[in-house]
Structure 1
Amino acid sequence: MPRVPYTGTASEAELERWRAVARQVAGTLAADALARDRANKQPFAEVQLLREAGLLELLVPAEFGGAGGHFETAFEVIRILAAADGSISQLLAYHYINQSGIAFYAPAEAQADWWRRTVEGSWLWGDSVNPVDPNLVLTREGDGYRLNGAKRFSTGSGVGEVIVVNAEVEGSGELLAFVVPREAEGLRIVDDWDYLGQRLSASNSLVYRNVRIEPSDVLGPVTDEPVATLLTPGIQLAFANFYLGIAEGALARGRQILLGRTNAWFLSQAETYSQDVVFQRTVGELKARTAAVAALAEKLGRRFDQVLGGAVSQPQRAELAVAIAELKVVASEAGVDVANRIFEVTGSSSTKSDVGLDLFWRNVRTHSLHDPVDYKKIEVGAYFLRGESQPLSLYT
């Protein structure tokens, strides 16, 4: 049984420390986010920026050389980075969840070695677990396994030192989580991630041809233990935070554009666009919605740590998952709406290519399709009306 090493909740000092780090990194990313998005290159330099800032080890327990931070802090970091660069925020969000597979899947006696190795190698953890693309075959071979098949949408795989894979052992029904180095023999990374947004998330396709999986590569079985299944609500909470961050980034950029305009609409009685009540009303509506989502996100970030640090029952897990689904619904809709409607107050000139306002909409529109938000609404409604939980999965 895994021993989850996370305890307690974040202090204000911890939060402030990492907020400051995240803001500094976000400032660097914001300076050329649009140019990097258009270049669509694998984000090795961006990962190095995260590494040098200490962000890759934020959630690693202090006893193994990490920062000993909390998920609440990690979620805030994700949100701050998303306001500058949604792709790199996604990379880091997935890294935190993938890396925490050590806690959720590995037996207690194996965790120390995994934590030390991730710190010593300064690993970024990618993944290859897309459950709607289960084209993998894991075959026993001696004391290990051979992996064959292909997988799309493998976030971080293009730049991560290691890649977490989930696959069922052929003929056994056992689902294992294991780790494949990016340079593993037989692994081919297909540089085919060319989508509307989140272009630097390194979400490539992977092809496995007789990749050897040693016993030491296995994190552990993927089980339905309540504490182990918290990984899924965790990543949904991460998603909501970077949708929120993108909305906040779009608002900040829109404000900058609006305040920079020295004239007003010809029918307006105001001297400038920012003084026009029509535009103030729209901005006020979008800002208020974003603030409400932020309040819920902050509340659930702390609650996630509180639940994770105790003995987790199935009812507790179900209640938390639904609460996070509620956040996912409002964060998805607010993110897309804010990133879209900010153009209403910045006008046609803000659609000029070098303004870059479209980057926020492209990013949130792309990732908000990760899993249908309508099914999150059903999850919330079924639980509220009948106390029914959705079947356990990597989406629920």
Structure 2
Amino acid sequence: MTRSHWTGTADVAELERWEAVAAQVAETLAADALERDRANQDPHAELQLLRDAGLVNLLDPAEFGGGGAHWQTAFRVVRVLARADASVAQVLAYHYINSGNIGFAVDFAKQPDLYRRTVAGRWVWGDSVNPVDPDLALTPHPDGGFRLDGTKRFSTGASVGDVVLAAGTIRGGDRDGTPVFVLLDHDRAGIRYHGDWDALGQRLSASGSVTFDGVRVAEEDILGELTDEPFSTLITPGIQLAFGDLYLGVAQGALARARELTLARANSWFLSGVERYAEDPFVLRVFGELLSKVDAVEALADAVGREFDAVVELGSAVTAEDRGRLAQRIARLKVVSTEVAIEVTTRVFEVTGSSSAKASVGLDLWWRNVRTHTLHDPVDYKKLEVGAYYVNGDLQPISLYT
């Protein structure tokens, strides 16, 4: 049975086309990334760049005016943007997953209307889903529909998005206890954006808390129920895969910036026996080690990106075992991308010298960003999942983290 429009996998032409678009946007973002990080403002102008470049509608069907691209391409775009601005890359990654619910969780017959609206409006989908917060409550309203109440923290993109995807549970009536996704316009009465995101890094990810106070929710605002059905729950491995590409992109960006700084360094260490730091064997050794690790992570990310599209194409035929095997592959990427990105963003200071620790240089930006986001969910639990599957064939229960 058809479940979504995503079929096949990305070809070279598609990947190259959208990577080039992302690279142009990344170049623009790189010009003032440090200044914007320090200003700590919601990224309204930055998201407009993404809209104008067509990246917001990359995954939407071409028949409705979207890019008609595949998930591997979207993950590559996140990676490219993260080299320059991991905050903006995060908002786009979450947007892809949030809007991806049209294909994963919405009845096929209802998808065209949503696609037309999101493409026509070039909507950015923020979210208020954080599963470790108490549930938002949807209480049946006497006049029909529901009222939504509660607060969610870490609502990435919600304050800057055109729409907000929120996860809540129906309380009362004949659907009592049913968890659902609802889609609300940004300015719906009763929604308050607190603007309280105050983290070490990812400062422009618009990830502050949101309160819903008596927000009216119509039946048509409900996208679908949250179930354990394998195909619809591919969104969770999807966001974890986006994280892996985000961390990889940060590592690549830090390494590229370190190379620039090293080549610009005058003189050399007096014991090195060479004229320039760029010729110092210890400097070259570190670059060689870090680049090799980054390339290995990239190879895994590319392979898993293709595998994700192959599983998505199965639609309703996706089994729990298919989903579990894919999630395990993605968990391995999460483990190595986390550890390599943290190592790279830390050790680049070894080859760029004490001058690179100046606040004006801003080399700390990559470390602050990846150190912040890699705390999203404990990577040790990903290691445990991988080990349990490899040794005993155990799959983790489906959740919004696994």
TM-score, with length taken from structure 2: 0.97
Distance 1:224 1:6 in 2: 21
Q: Deviations over 1:250-303 (max 9, x none)?
A: 000000000111210111111111101101111111000000000000001111
Q: Residue 238 of structure 1 is aligned with which of 228, 242, 261?
A: 242
Distance 2:144 2:401 in 1: 32
2:36 alignment partner in structure 1? 36
Q: Is the 8 A contact 1:2 1:106 kept in 2?
A: no
Q: Residue 395 of structure 2 is aligned with which of 389, 392, 395?
A: 389
* 1:109-124 correspondence to structure 2 within 5 Å: 109-124=109-124
Detail structure 1 runs of 4+ shifted over 3 Å in the superposition.
none
Q: Residue 213 of structure 2 is aligned with which of 202, 209, 215?
A: 209
Distance 1:134 1:378 in 2: 26
**Residue 153 in 1 paired to residue 140 in 2?**
no
Distance 1:48 1:291 in 2: 31
**Residue 166 in 1 paired to residue 170 in 2?**
no
2:364 alignment partner in structure 1? 358
What is the deviation of 1:134? Answer: 2.1
Distance 2:104 2:177 in 1: 20
Secondary structure of 2:360's match? Answer: helix
Report the RMSD for the aligned CA atoms in angstroms.
Answer: 1.0
Secondary structure of 2:68's match? Answer: coil
* Structure 1 residues 145 and 2, CA gap change in structure 2 (3 angstroms): farther
Which amino acid in the other structure matches residue 93 of structure 1?
A: A
2:45 alignment partner in structure 1? 45
Q: Deviations over 1:15-53 (max 9, x none)?
A: 111011000000000000000000001110000000000
What is the deviation of 1:162? Answer: 0.3
1:318 alignment partner in structure 2? 324
Secondary structure of 1:154's match? Answer: coil
Secondary structure of 1:204's match? Answer: coil
Q: Is the 8 A contact 2:135 2:169 kept in 1?
A: no
Distance 1:261 1:378 in 2: 43
What is the deviation of 1:392? Answer: 0.6
Q: Is the 8 A contact 1:2 1:103 kept in 2?
A: no
Distance 1:369 1:6 in 2: 31
Distance 1:266 1:257 in 2: 19
**Residue 252 in 1 paired to residue 256 in 2?**
yes
Secondary structure of 2:339's match? Answer: helix
Which amino acid in the other structure matches residue 168 of structure 1?
A: T
* 1:82-121 correspondence to structure 2 within 5 Å: 82-121=82-121
User: What are structure 2's unaligned runs of at least 5 residues?
Assistant: none
Which amino acid in the other structure matches residue 150 of structure 1?
A: T
Distance 1:327 1:191 in 2: 32
Distance 2:192 2:323 in 1: 37
Q: Residue 280 of structure 1 is aligned with which of 272, 277, 284?
A: 284
User: What are structure 1's unaligned runs of at least 5 residues?
Assistant: none
TM-score, with length taken from structure 1: 0.99
Residue-pair matches, total: 396
1:192 alignment partner in structure 2? 196
Which amino acid in the other structure matches residue 39 of structure 1?
A: A
Q: Is the 8 A contact 2:135 2:167 kept in 1?
A: no
Which amino acid in the other structure matches residue 144 of structure 2?
A: D
Q: Is the 8 A contact 2:266 2:277 kept in 1?
A: yes
- More divergent stretch after superposition (217-226 vs 324-333): 217-226
What is the deviation of 1:143? Answer: 3.5
